[in-house]
Structure 1
Amino acid sequence: MTLGERDDEVDLLIDAWSRRLPDVDLTPLDVMSRLRRAAGRLARLRSAAFRSAGLEAWEFDVLAALRREEPPHELSPAQLVSATMIGSAAMTNRIDKLVARELVDRRPHPRDGRAVLVRLRAEGIERADAAMTTLAWREAEELGALSRADQATLARLLRPLARHPG
């Protein structure tokens, strides 16, 4: 592909760095720079979808973890920590805020008097469902430039990268 046929920012970035560092293989930038740009777009799209349901991203994460559970949609704080991959102190703070907003309730654990369960309230269900519905619609719209087959191929190709988060 000649420079005249290349027109996106990543191609121009790679061309510029190739002139400065001719001995460095910049091929990974072709993928990773585009993934970074796509991730930025996705973050903005997700934030907008959550805002449309009156939620912050962290609120959606907790509510979604509960919503994915079978009724009565409840988990222990430790299970929520595991599901959302945040620390215990942060989860306690998040649960407190969600209780104050009346999106979840705390209730005593029926088998362990020292423990509690966090249960999704009707308002939490409505907001989580609204956010997920909007998110799915907006993500489908974003992916509209790709055929279903290309979307499946892209998901398959990204799967190994997503398995190694750090």
Structure 2
Amino acid sequence: MRKSEAGDHVDGVLAQWHNVRPESDASPMAIFTRVFRLSKYLNRSIAAVFRTHGLHDGEFDLLATLYRAGQPQGLTPNALRHAAVLSSGAMTNRLDRLEAAGLIQRVANPADRRSLLIRLSDEGQAVLLGCLDEYLATLHRMQAPLDEEQKRALANGLRALLLTLEEQGDD
């Protein structure tokens, strides 16, 4: 019998909870404990890709956000922070590292002299695009066990959860 047919780690956790607390409904753990565990596996695999391109966790996201924005003038730090769901302190640290590496530039905002814009440098764009194919290949490999229907159902379910949490949260 394949491991997937026998159940995963979370199935065992749920059975244990049922044994020690049968009156408690631990069924949400079927989703969220799996999401937590998946996150650990995903983070390890993706961090390895980023490291090979000289990036730390989260820096790829900032570079990709700047690239996807398609605005050569750049984005304000607040717009970038909101898109990346980061605290201002974490954002400052990442921006400092990316600027020191020559991957971004902080430039004056022509629309507001009191603020700056964050712009992707030519080197930053080259690093991002050099990493992108390997990143996407890693994601494709990790979702390979799912058929198309499972991929759509999972994406739709996660979207519904995320929309609710985003509406409730303050980022």
TM over 0.5: yes
Question: Per the shorter chain, which TM-score range?
Answer: 0.7 to 0.9
Structure 2 partner of 1:143: 143
Instruction: Look up the SS of the partner of 1:117 in the other structure.
Output: strand
Q: TM-score, normalised by structure 2?
A: 0.83
The SS at the match of 1:113 is coil
Contact 1:104 1:118 in 2 (8 A): yes
1:69 is aligned to 2:69: yes
CA gap of 1:9–1:87, structure 2 versus 1, over 3 A, is closer
Distance 1:87 1:21 in 2: 38
In structure 2, the partner of 1:100 is 100
Q: State the Cα deviation string for residues 113-143 of structure 1 (Å, max 9, x = none).
A: 3322221111111222233322211111111
Q: Please name the residue that 2:115 is paired with.
A: 115
Q: How many Å apart are 1:73 and its aligned residue?
A: 6.0
Structure 1 gaps, min length 5 = none
CA distance in 2, matches of 1:112, 1:14: 54
- Whichever residue aligns with residue 87 of structure 1, its letter is S
Instruction: Please list every run of at least 4 consecutive aligned residues from structure 1 whose deviation after the TM superposition is greater than 4 angstroms.
Output: none
Retained in 2: the 8 A contact 1:103–1:122? yes
Partner SS for 2:123: helix
CA offsets 1:72-120 (integer angstroms, 9 cap, x no match): 2611222222222223344333322222111111222223333222211
Q: Is the 8 A contact 2:50 2:56 kept in 1?
A: yes
2:13 matched to which residue of 1?
Answer: 13
Larger radius of gyration: 1
User: What secondary structure, in the 3-state scheme, does the structure 2 residue paired with 1:119 have?
Assistant: strand
AA of the residue aligned to 2:45? L
User: What is the aligned residue count?
Assistant: 162
Amino acid at match of 1:103: L
Counterpart contact for 2:73–2:117, Cα < 8 Å: no
**Match of 2:119, SS?**
strand
Local SS of the residue matching 1:106: strand
Paired position in structure 1 for 2:156: 156
Which digits, 9 at most, give the CA deviation of each residue in 1:48-83, with x for residues without a partner?
121122101232122121111214261122222222
Q: Which residue in 2 is equivalent to 1:80?
A: 80
- Calculate the aligned-residue CA RMSD, in Å: 2.0
Identity of aligned residues (%): 34
* Equivalent pair of 2:14/2:29 in contact (CA under 8 Å): yes
Stretches of structure 2 lacking an aligned partner (at least 5 in a row): none
SS in 2 for 1:61: helix
